[in-house]
Amino acid sequence: MDQILREGVQIGEYVVTKVLPENRGGFAQVVYARRSTQGGDEAEVAIKFALRRRRAAGANDLDHDAYQAMVVEVETLRELRHPGIARIYPILSGQRPIFMARAVEIREQPWYFVMERLDGGPVTTLVRGGSRLETPMAVEIAQQVAATLDYVHARGFAHLDIKASNVLLRRPLSRHSLPEAVLVDFGTAQRSARTEELDAGTLVYAPPERVKIREGQAPPETFTDKPAADVYSLGITLYRMLTGRLPFEGREPHVITAILNQPPTLPSQYNRDIRKLPELDSLILQMLDKQPANRPKAREVVARLEQLVPSPRLRLEASTDPSDPPGGKSATRLSSLMIVLAFIALVGTNGFTYLWASGRLTNGTPPPIIVTAPATATGTTQVAEPTQTPAPRPATATKPPATAIPRTSTPTVTRETATETPPPSSTPVNTFTPVPTPTRTLTPSPQPVSQVPPSPQPPTEPPSRPPTQAPTAPPTAAPRPTAPPTAVPTPK
């Protein structure tokens, strides 16, 4: 299969882009691929193949255990939807999507399914060679896995193969974002429930009750508390992240005896930082208790880790550029945009007031201009006669005009609509801005406004009955022209 499965091979609607030897296990192999579309800009996915193995001389058939493990994993991933569980993608086939298919393009035609690609890699790469994580980072990852296990256990499932190689990060570790721990390999976990098939990689994470069955010291029926087995394996994983080693490491060739009968070495013996948190030592030892009933539930692990190392545990950097504000470069662009909009509003309002007072807008009969001033501004002139009843302003914000030049046509307004909420009505509202925002309407005949004190706005009438005369006339108002007033067109 390895000679056939290589980069560039077409698998259904996907093209293999990368084959990594470290992504091969005893029952499956994972490769990276991309959908073969014309755009070519889609994110890569991971394709997991069930390995074929020779079961007898002259036979070349799919191993039953590998196939069964993949069936269980696909069904489990379809039912469990959680941020801490790898997402499975449908394989389009005919009129309905399916989630498991055979790679007929490959000579051996193995079964496969498609899931999300996790670029952060497994936790084993972070603790390789005795390396360990900082305490806040290790606690953050362990708490996320515990929260995922609480979700899994509440729905009647158990992973049964928690270990560092099955905890992957959605993205590489960064100082600008929190890690996202994701559980994988649910099918292998279900297969590992057959305790007689525990391999070396799983054995060091397995609880004593499973090791006893493997060693023939207890019948399989005694393994009943499967969620407690997950908590034990998570305790081993947390131990390794904090210390860079396993609890019973160095006790060969009596590791199995140590797992069954001996207490683990305190994590604080290998990590001085934990000495400041004796409760963390105590929690890990309780998770590794020989008796399943004495171990905490996954939900309790989440709560106790939060108490020991409260959030936020990690100090995130907003940007690598020290000159950027806390919000990064996007905050700088947003602040600049707000300053520009405020300047446009100020210039547009003051410019209109100047042109109106100077009489430059009274030549001819231009259409009325609606100027929306800021709500905190106080008017110094009397508004003209009202022509319509004010109506409620739409929910979306309205930009102030950038110029005071009279418009000759109704501008086209483009609104950006969010997908979470229904778009606002696109029907234009032929109304003026309600109080407290003053609205001014120009008429052909000028009125000396600099000498007229402001007076209260008169009550308005329904839109279907436009007024023919001003409700009130100031005592010092200029005489009106003898010609009948020109009708004010309604903005559209």
Inter-residue contact 153 to 104 (CB < 8 Å): no
Q: Tell me the residue type at 366.
A: P
pTM assigned to the model: 0.63
C-alpha–C-alpha distance, residues 204 and 252, integer Å: 12
Name the token pair of 11. Answer: 């698998």
Length of the chain: 492
C-alpha–C-alpha distance, residues 350 and 356, integer Å: 10
Residues of the chain with pLDDT under 70: 1-4, 22-26, 37-41, 52-63, 93-95, 188-197, 200, 316-492
C-alpha–C-alpha distance, residues 281 and 247, integer Å: 12
Q: Which distant-in-sequence residues (6+ apart) come within 8 Å of 43 by Cβ?
A: 34, 117
Backbone torsions φ then ψ of 356, nearest 5 degrees: -70, -45
- Residue 378's pLDDT is 42
- Residue 190's pLDDT is 56
C-alpha–C-alpha distance, residues 45 and 92, integer Å: 14
Q: Tell me the residue type at 284.
A: I
- Residue 448's pLDDT is 46
Alpha helix stretches (DSSP H) within 177-328 = 186-191, 200-203, 208-214, 226-243, 255-261, 278-287, 298-308
Inter-residue contact 41 to 51 (CB < 8 Å): no
Domains of the chain: 10-116 (3.30.200.20), 121-308 (1.10.510.10)
DSSP annotation of 274 reads G
216: left (phi over 0), alpha (psi -120 to 50) or beta: left
In the beta sheet, which residues pair with residue 46?
32, 115
If one counts every other C-beta atom within 10 angstroms of the C-beta of residue 168, the result is 22
Q: Three-state SS string across 130-182, please?
A: HCCCCHHHHHHHHHHHHHHHHHHHHCCCCCCCCCHHHEEECCCCECCECCCEE
243: left (phi over 0), alpha (psi -120 to 50) or beta: alpha
- Residue 66's pLDDT is 80
